[in-house]
Amino acid sequence: MADRDEAVFEAVAAVVDPALFHSLGELGTVRRAARKRGRVEVVVAVPSEHYPDPDELHRRVTEALGAFAEAGSTVSVELEAMEEEERAALGQRLHAIEGVETSAPVGAAGAGAAGRTSPLSAPKSRTRVLAIASGKGGVGKSTVTVNLAVALARAGHSVGLLDADIYGFSVPRMLGVTHAPMVLGRTIVPPVTHGVRSISTGFFVDEEKAIAWRGPMLHKALEQFLVDVHWGAPDFLLVDMPPGTGDVALSVAQQLPRAELYVVTTPQPAAQRVAQRAGALARQLRLPLRGVVENMSWFCTPDGARYELFGFGGGEELSSSLGVPLLAQVPLVTAIREGADDGRPAVIAEPDGEVAKVFEELAARVVALGPARVYRSELKLS
């Protein structure tokens, strides 16, 4: 960079790109950082004209240059779109920053279909992976996943959401994702909605065509979601698991061996059967079961009468028979269904409401549980 001013450069380099999750210094996207006769000029490169959050990036850079403005300089900040090769180079750089092995030999131990592993599965990864599952569909698994993700983000954590329900995806609609991922060469940058980075097959197909995802394509999609998606090492990655223990679920669990399992259930006291199923799920997926969330626990009429429409005690019984905590009971409220239909999760639509409180507490409990202890088999006493 010609006429680069170190003080200006340093201030700008420290800014974190809101859409790429790393500092502009790490990304190498500061194109110009000059200071001449009371004028500070900064140019930052963004991947394309479709860069999702130019205003926020502009705001952050301008804010970082506040000291220069206060000292009387005129500050000019411009964003410029990259050329195609620069985009591909940035994609490679993102992979390098996250430690994605792009050249691992095919069939390397523990690797995905093409021999590539996700940085999220590395032992040193700081991301807690929360796999949200249920014994059957329609109990509110996606609803819980989406609202918990937003609640964690609102509590200040960085959060990713992987919609692994490949055929039954609902995250794009429920979270209200409005723009497509950015594709930089081979790297896919997830859109950020309500503070949550998300990826779903729904971004890549029409709803009617979703059924076309089959066999190898599906594994490829999953692998791409874990390896080629630039998650940016979030504090939490929530996974909306596909139902049951089919191929996709097993594949997710294999590729994310550090995932913790959470089970969503309804209050019907069919505890034994549900417990057996949840226990079997944890064993088959080989993931530690951390807790139970009961959904649709009760319904309150506007005059305050409380009805237990779907029975009572199911969550409590399930958690005690599995020996894990019941982490939350989520009431049945219209705001949840309406929010799911128009992309405004209840936690966002009514931030001071009952549901927001339930999910805030759930988020706090999950944080308090801490990461699952990893038992290394070689250390186990026989």
Binding site for ligand ADP (CB under 6 A): 134, 137-143, 170, 295-296, 330, 332-333, 336-337, 340
Shortest distance in whole angstroms from residue 235 CB to Mg ion: 23
Whichever of 140 and 234 has its CB closer to ligand ADP, that residue is 140
Whichever of 46 and 263 has its CB closer to ligand ADP, that residue is 263
Tell me which of ligand ADP, Mg ion, none is bound by residue 330, counting a contact when its beta carbon lies within the kind-specific cut-off of 5 to 8 angstroms.
ligand ADP
Backbone phi, psi, residue 337, to 5°: -70, -45
Shortest distance in whole angstroms from residue 348 CB to ligand ADP: 14
Backbone phi, psi, residue 199, to 5°: -140, 140
Shortest distance in whole angstroms from residue 137 CB to Mg ion: 7
First to last CA, the chain: 61
Whichever of 222 and 358 has its CB closer to ligand ADP, that residue is 358
Measured between alpha carbons, how far is 256 from 340 in angstroms, rounded to an integer?
A: 27
Shortest distance in whole angstroms from residue 204 CB to ligand ADP: 20
Whichever of 83 and 341 has its CB closer to ligand ADP, that residue is 341
Residue 231 to residues 11, 134, 185, Cα–Cα distance (Å): 25, 25, 16
Contact region with Mg ion (CB under 5 A), list: 40-48, 168-176, 210-218, 366-374: 168-176
Contact region with Mg ion (CB under 5 A), list: 42-50, 162-170, 227-235, 286-294: 162-170
Whichever of 90 and 332 has its CB closer to ligand ADP, that residue is 332
Tokens of 300: 């309150």
Residue number with the smallest Cβ distance to Mg ion: 142
Measured between alpha carbons, how far is 46 from 44 in angstroms, rounded to an integer?
A: 7
Taking residues 102 to 141 in sequence order and writing x for each that binds Mg ion by CB under 5 A, - otherwise, the string is ----------------------------------------
Tell me which of ligand ADP, Mg ion, none is bound by residue 340, counting a contact when its beta carbon lies within the kind-specific cut-off of 5 to 8 angstroms.
ligand ADP
Shortest distance in whole angstroms from residue 136 CB to Mg ion: 11
Taking alpha carbons only, the member of 14, 12, 91 closest to residue 48 is: 91
Tell me which of ligand ADP, Mg ion, none is bound by residue 336, counting a contact when its beta carbon lies within the kind-specific cut-off of 5 to 8 angstroms.
ligand ADP
Following DSSP, what letter does each residue of 167-196 receive, concatenated? SS--HHHHHT--SPPEEETTEEEPPEETTE
For residue 327, give every residue at least 6 positions away whose Cβ sits within 8 Å of its Cβ, in sequence order, or none: 262, 291, 292, 293, 362, 365, 366
For CA atoms 317, 323, 329, 330, the dihedral sign is: negative
Taking alpha carbons only, the member of 231, 199, 205 closest to residue 217 is: 205
Site for Mg ion in 229-288 (CB under 5 A): none
Shortest distance in whole angstroms from residue 102 CB to Mg ion: 32
Tell me which of ligand ADP, Mg ion, none is bound by residue 121, counting a contact when its beta carbon lies within the kind-specific cut-off of 5 to 8 angstroms.
none
| Helix residue spans in 111-230 (DSSP H) | 141-154, 171-175, 215-223
Shortest distance in whole angstroms from residue 334 CB to ligand ADP: 7
Cα 282 to chain centroid distance, Å, stands at 21
CB 253 within 8 A of CB 226: no
CB 298 within 8 A of CB 252: no
42 three-state secondary structure: strand
Contact region with Mg ion (CB under 5 A), list: 44-52, 95-103, 169-177, 306-314: 169-177
Tell me which of ligand ADP, Mg ion, none is bound by residue 134, counting a contact when its beta carbon lies within the kind-specific cut-off of 5 to 8 angstroms.
ligand ADP
Residue from 121, 134, 142, 265 touching Mg ion (CB under 5 A): that is: 142
Whichever of 142 and 297 has its CB closer to Mg ion, that residue is 142
Shortest distance in whole angstroms from residue 296 CB to Mg ion: 14
Nearest-5° angle of CA 303, CA 305, CA 307? 140
Where along the sequence are the contacts to Mg ion (CB under 5 A)?
142, 170
